[in-house]
């Protein structure tokens, strides 16, 4: 009996050790949080002027506060709003490939007197097509690649990292960590500040900016660049961190407040978090409005696909293709017999009324 009990105990101990070893080799638990990006109406695009007026329409449910961040330096167990308090809202506009940011921060000690990288920083990383993987030279998967070749061909190319100085005094508003500084300039980015404090003082800072995410951004400039395509309900990868230098001589007071909770999110897009590009809020939608686009499917055969993009609840569609033919389908294909430039008209009807959208000579076939 004792031998049986001894064998059972040994077996249990072996199983327990096996489980512990398995747990120790497992990947960190996946972060299941997700966030929202507010869609601004096309007639209410935020002005980059350092004021918050344009953002009053954005509900607080879109705000990401410091309670969502943790200090990767492990100097602070939890955030103290008397020391540092931040709130971030992100927006977008349908038809643009831009991300708009409102960064509001209170700090009890603002550090921005030096001309180098030592500066309070808002670090934003974005991987808009969620291609994932590493994107800085030191993390290049091919360890045989020479350092500078990795830097110029890889660093910041498929995902981008912006070190934004808060505030920037006597220096550019941001360091783009990579070999493509052109992406921080107009028309791809812009920034404005609003604050009333000096280095070493406390106070509130408002930073307003936009950036353009890229699926490909090379050192050669915009000639070969590919902007990330932004559209409703798309999920992009993004994260940010706040680097807080409260005392240059005391590292225990320096915080690295990370939204991702994975420290190397700054160079590995796998550690970014999902952000959803939200549809337009009901408050700003038209009850009914006709709209459409088209794509020439086969120019040789003059075949065109028409895409309904109307707003509101639509019960019926009537397409006039401009050549004497029509269709009642929502998404018709049409083959033109003759080359020409056509006036195409879409009429829609629903419970809210009727609407028309014509486009003059947009549709042309040869």
Average pLDDT over residues 118-143: 96
Rounded Cα–Cα distance for residues 223 and 154 (Å): 17
Asked if the model's pLDDT at residue 111 lies above 90, the reply is: yes
> What is the three-state SS of 24-52?
HHCCCCCCCCCEEEEEECCCCCCCCCCCC
Do 320 and 192 reside in the same domain of the chain?
no
Residue 4: pLDDT band (50, 70, 90) is very low
Give pLDDT, residue 10.
Answer: 40
Phi, psi dihedral angles at 265 (to 5 degrees):
-60, -20
Residue 30: pLDDT band (50, 70, 90) is confident
Please give the residue that has the higher pLDDT: either 3 or 128.
128
Average pLDDT over residues 303-310: 97
What is the domain range of residue 145? 35-277
Residue 261 DSSP SS3: coil
Rounded Cα–Cα distance for residues 127 and 235 (Å): 10
Do 250 and 319 reside in the same domain of the chain?
no
Give pLDDT, residue 21.
Answer: 43
Do 56 and 73 reside in the same domain of the chain?
yes
Do 309 and 182 reside in the same domain of the chain?
no
Do 315 and 252 reside in the same domain of the chain?
no
Average pLDDT over residues 221-225: 97
Do 114 and 247 reside in the same domain of the chain?
yes
Find where tokens 């507010």 sit.
Answer: 38
Greatest CA separation found in the chain?
Answer: 97
Give pLDDT, residue 77.
Answer: 76
Number of domains in the chain: 2
Q: Which of 225, 249, 277 is the last residue of a domain?
A: 277
Rounded Cα–Cα distance for residues 330 and 318 (Å): 8
* CATH number, domain containing residue 360: 2.60.40.10
Does the residue 8 lie in any domain? no
End-to-end, the C-alpha distance of the chain in Å comes to 93
Do 163 and 227 reside in the same domain of the chain?
yes
Take residue 172 and report the two structure tokens written for it.
């550019």
Do 129 and 111 reside in the same domain of the chain?
yes
* CATH number, domain containing residue 89: 2.60.40.1190
Do 190 and 241 reside in the same domain of the chain?
yes
Q: Which of 277, 301, 321 is the last residue of a domain?
A: 277
Do 166 and 297 reside in the same domain of the chain?
no
| Residue-wise burial string across 311-320, b where 16 or more C-beta atoms lie within 10 A, e elsewhere | bbebeebebb
Rounded Cα–Cα distance for residues 92 and 149 (Å): 34
pTM of this structure: 0.86
Asked if the model's pLDDT at residue 242 lies above 70, the reply is: yes
Of the ranges 22-36, 62-76, 115-129, 134-148, which one carries the lowest mean pLDDT score? 22-36
Distances in Å between the Cα of 231 and the Cα atoms of 44, 58, 234, 277 are: 17, 18, 6, 7
Asked if the model's pLDDT at residue 85 lies above 80, the reply is: yes
Find where tokens 């003082």 sit.
Answer: 201
- Mean pLDDT, all residues of the chain: 92
Does the residue 2 lie in any domain? no
């Amino acid at each position: 009996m004792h031998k049986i009990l001894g064998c059972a105990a040994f077996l249990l101990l072996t199983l327990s050790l096996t489980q512990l070893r398995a747990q120790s080799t497992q990947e960190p638990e996946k972060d299941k949080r997700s966030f929202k990006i507010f869609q601004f109406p096309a007639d209410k695009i935020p002005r980059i002027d350092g004021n918050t007026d344009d953002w009053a329409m954005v509900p607080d449910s879109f705000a990401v506060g410091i309670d969502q961040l943790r200090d990767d330096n492990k100097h602070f167990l939890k955030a103290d709003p008397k020391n540092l308090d931040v709130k971030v809202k992100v927006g977008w506009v349908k038809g643009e490939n831009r991300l708009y940011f409102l960064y509001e921060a209170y700090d009890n000690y603002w550090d921005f007197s030096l001309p180098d990288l030592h500066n309070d920083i808002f670090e934003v990383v974005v991987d808009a097509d969620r291609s994932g993987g590493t994107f800085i030279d030191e993390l290049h998967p091919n360890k045989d690649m020479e350092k500078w070749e990795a830097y110029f061909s890889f660093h910041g190319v498929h995902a981008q990292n912006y070190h934004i100085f808060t505030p920037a005094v006597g220096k550019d508003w941001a360091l783009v960590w990579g070999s493509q500084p052109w992406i921080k300039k107009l028309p791809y980015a812009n920034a404005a500040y609003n604050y009333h404090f000096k280095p070493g003082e406390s106070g509130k800072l408002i930073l307003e900016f936009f950036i353009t995410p890229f699926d490909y951004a090379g050192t050669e400039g915009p000639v070969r660049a590919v902007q990330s395509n932004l559209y409703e309900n798309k999920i992009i990868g993004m994260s940010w961190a706040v680097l807080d230098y409260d005392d240059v001589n005391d590292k225990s007071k320096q915080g690295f407040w990370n939204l991702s909770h994975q420290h190397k999110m700054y160079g590995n897009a796998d550690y970014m978090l999902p952000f959803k590009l939200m549809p337009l809020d009901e408050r700003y939608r038209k009850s009914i409005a006709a709209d459409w686009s088209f794509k020439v499917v086969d120019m040789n055969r003059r075949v065109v696909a028409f895409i309904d993009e109307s707003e509101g609840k639509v019960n019926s569609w009537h397409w006039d293709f401009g050549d004497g033919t029509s269709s009642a389908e929502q998404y018709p294909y049409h083959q033109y017999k003759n080359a020409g430039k056509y006036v195409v008209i879409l009429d829609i009807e629903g419970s809210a009324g009727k609407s028309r959208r014509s486009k003059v000579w947009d549709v042309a076939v040869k």
